[in-house]
Amino acid sequence: MTAKISYDEVEVGTELPAQSFPVSRATLVRYAGASGDFNPIHWNEKFAKEVGLPDVIAHGMFTMAEAIRVVTDWAGDPGAVAEYGVRFTKPVVVPNDETGALIEVSAKVAAKLDDDDRTVRVDLTAMSAGQKVLGMSRAVVRLA
């Protein structure tokens, strides 16, 4: 496993390049097929509203998959991720238009965990429509 970022060059507080990820109804249908999660709250507006949601919402696992891209793009090697966890705090509501929704992800190095293991903890923030959609979103990454 070869991350492109060196442990020695990273400091606590280092910000990773932020990214925004668009999500449309078509994105959700594609993700449903790829992941095998066909829960209708992710593609059927009528059903979503009947169970009390404002509209179709993105799969939490889709949001989780997008957020970690900020870390894997930065580290270079996706295999450098040793741990990754999130709490699903708010749904990403996806309107039925061409724009859809936007998931905005920022991240910073919160701690250097182990000089021998060369691991850091990265804290992530994921927002959509001005609301925090992931809480306690953290990854442990093994750097070069």
Counting every residue, how long is the chain?
Answer: 144
Q: Rounded to the nearest whole angstrom, what is the least distance from the CB of residue 96 to another protein in the complex?
A: 19
Distance from C-alpha of 108 to C-alpha of 18, rounded to nearest angstrom: 9
Q: Rounded to the nearest whole angstrom, what is the least distance from the CB of residue 102 to another protein in the complex?
A: 13
Residue with tokens 């990265």, as numbered in its chain: 122
Q: Rounded to the nearest whole angstrom, what is the least distance from the CB of residue 37 to another protein in the complex?
A: 7
Q: Which is nearer to another protein, 31 or 43 (CB)?
A: 31
Distance from C-alpha of 70 to C-alpha of 38, rounded to nearest angstrom: 26
Distance from C-alpha of 2 to C-alpha of 79, rounded to nearest angstrom: 8
**Measured distance between the N- and C-terminal CA atoms of the chain, rounded to whole angstroms:** 8
* The token pair that represents 74 in the structure block: 């930065």
Q: Which is nearer to another protein, 35 or 96 (CB)?
A: 35
Q: Rounded to the nearest whole angstrom, what is the least distance from the CB of residue 84 to another protein in the complex?
A: 5
Q: Which is nearer to another protein, 72 or 125 (CB)?
A: 72
Distance from C-alpha of 88 to C-alpha of 66, rounded to nearest angstrom: 13
Q: Which is nearer to another protein, 11 or 116 (CB)?
A: 116
Q: For binding to another protein (CB under 8 A), which residues are involved?
A: 1-2, 21, 27, 30-31, 33-37, 60-62, 64-66, 68-69, 72-73, 76-79, 81-88, 136
